[in-house]
């Protein structure tokens, strides 16, 4: 193995324990600030099929669009800016752009425009920004953060006009975009549809897949013991097991296996059956929050398990991870969080980022 592959890049994993009923719990904030997600995975032990109530919530997930060659300045035109971008539930992310090489763009539901651009693009834009936290000895990337809700961004204002000129004439940035918006009572999506109709686009629904787990070694968990003991697996080793199950990696460490020597962490017991449920697409926080609320009610009726888990994966090439915290890539691009929900309403929360990220909130 080459020395380059042997060196593991640094990553950051934060784990905390709380209770959904605790007034100080911040689980909803963590979910709402993780804007750009492409996959979620649920593991429900001792479950043969997806409960109708959970499947029903997934069916209500928002549609999303892939728009081709959309100029960035189009988002800033007065009608779109007021009715769509400042909607408070609008998400747009440049698609098939690499955070370490290309210009990447994101519109956040807070009304911010984030552009992570190379040095040449930054100098041509003529906009105020700051060097990326994760660059070489010589600055090669810059991050431009524009608060489109600021008074200076009112159509007709000088600062607003300078932004339009920069993105329309000086550097006419365009990209494929993934777009989603949670509709509100005040907006039926007409303005967004008008914008989309001017370009080539496809509408998608999140896709659902289920896989049954049979006679699988499963760690024993106790909600009160985050760090593990003789009766409970610790949170970090449990997360590793979840990854193995999601990737269909055997946890038996069989002598005949030359692919994996992984073994389920102790203490463990055999799970007679379980359900692995995966949803993929452009998943927005509002929908994930609705699903998490439904999962909390899973234990309203007695179950053969005391826990279930949901893992949410963010885009590796998003310019942000949580909130406006800069996201980088380097080797892994880690950008995900996981909830382990217990029957007593306790939860464990894992938050993971790579070496080119700020700390999770």
39-66 confidence digits (pLDDT tens): 999 999 999 899 999 999 999 999 999 9
Write down the pLDDT at residue 61: 97
Write down the pLDDT at residue 135: 67
Instruction: Report the alpha-carbon distance of residue 238 to residue 232 in Å, rounded.
Output: 10
Q: Which residues contact 223 (CB under 8 A, 6 or more apart)?
A: 17, 306, 307, 342, 344, 346, 347, 348
Q: Which residues contact 255 (CB under 8 A, 6 or more apart)?
A: none
Q: Cβ(273)–Cβ(210) under 8 Å?
A: no
Write down the pLDDT at residue 8: 52
Write down the pLDDT at residue 331: 66
Residue 188 has pLDDT above 70, yes or no: no
> Which residues are bridge partners to 232 per DSSP?
229
Sheet holding 90-94, edge to edge: 130-131, 141-147, 112-118, 104-107, 90-94, 174-181, 64-71, 201-204
Q: Cβ(308)–Cβ(333) under 8 Å?
A: no
Write down the pLDDT at residue 84: 92
Instruction: Report the alpha-carbon distance of residue 52 to residue 361 in Å, rounded.
Output: 34
Mean pLDDT of 229-251: 85
Instruction: Report the alpha-carbon distance of residue 347 to residue 173 in Å, rounded.
Output: 43
DSSP string covering 77-92: SHHHHHHTGGGSSEEE
Residue 5 has pLDDT above 50, yes or no: no
Q: From the CB of residue 205, how many other CB atoms can be counted at a distance below 10 Å?
A: 11
Cis peptide before 267 (omega within 30 of 0): yes
Mean pLDDT of the chain: 89
Write down the pLDDT at residue 1: 46
Mean pLDDT of 173-186: 87
Q: From the CB of residue 200, how many other CB atoms can be counted at a distance below 10 Å?
A: 11
Residue 257 has pLDDT above 70, yes or no: no
Instruction: Report the alpha-carbon distance of residue 78 to residue 84 in Å, rounded.
Output: 10
Percent pLDDT > 90 in the chain is: 65
Instruction: Report the alpha-carbon distance of residue 283 to residue 31 in Å, rounded.
Output: 11
Instruction: Report the alpha-carbon distance of residue 268 to residue 265 in Å, rounded.
Output: 7
Q: Cβ(106)–Cβ(92) under 8 Å?
A: yes
Closest CA to 144 of 183, 162, 181, 118: 118
């Amino acid at each position: 193995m080459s020395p380059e592959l042997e060196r593991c890049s640094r990553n950051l994993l934060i784990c905390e324990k709380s209770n959904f009923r605790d007034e100080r719990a911040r689980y909803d904030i963590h979910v709402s600030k993780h804007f750009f997600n492409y996959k979620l995975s649920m593991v429900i032990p001792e479950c043969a099929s997806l409960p109708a109530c959970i499947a029903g919530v997934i069916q209500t997930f928002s549609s999303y669009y892939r728009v081709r060659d959309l100029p960035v300045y189009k988002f800033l035109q007065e009608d779109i800016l007021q009715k769509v971008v400042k909607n408070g539930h609008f998400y747009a992310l440049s698609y098939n752009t690499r955070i370490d090489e290309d210009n990447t763009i994101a519109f956040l539901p807070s009304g911010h425009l984030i552009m992570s651009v190379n040095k040449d693009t930054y100098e041509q834009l003529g906009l105020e920004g700051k060097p990326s936290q994760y660059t070489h000895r010589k600055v090669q990337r810059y991050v431009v953060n524009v608060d489109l809700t600021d008074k200076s961004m009112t159509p007709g204002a000088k600062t607003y006009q300078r932004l339009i000129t920069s993105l329309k004439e000086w550097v006419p940035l365009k990209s494929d975009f993934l777009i989603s918006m949670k509709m509100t009572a005040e907006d039926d999506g007409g303005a967004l549809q008008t914008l989309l109709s001017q370009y080539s686009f496809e509408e998608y629904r999140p896709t659902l897949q289920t896989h049954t787990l049979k006679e699988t070694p499963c760690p024993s968990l106790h909600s009160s013991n985050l760090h593990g003991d003789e009766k409970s697996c610790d949170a970090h080793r449990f997360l590793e097991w979840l990854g193995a199950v999601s990737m269909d990696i055997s946890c038996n460490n069989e002598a005949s296996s030359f692919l994996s020597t992984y073994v389920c962490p102790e203490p463990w017991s055999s799970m007679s059956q379980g359900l692995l449920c995966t949803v993929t697409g452009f998943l927005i926080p509002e929908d994930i929050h609705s699903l998490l609320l439904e999962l909390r009610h899973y234990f309203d009726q007695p179950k053969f398990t005391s826990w279930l888990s949901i893992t949410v994966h963010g885009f590796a090439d998003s310019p942000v991870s949580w909130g406006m915290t800069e996201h980088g890539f380097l080797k892994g691009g880690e950008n995900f969080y996981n909830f382990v929900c217990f029957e007593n309403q306790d939860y464990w929360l894992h938050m993971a980022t790579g070496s080119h990220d700020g700390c999770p909130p």
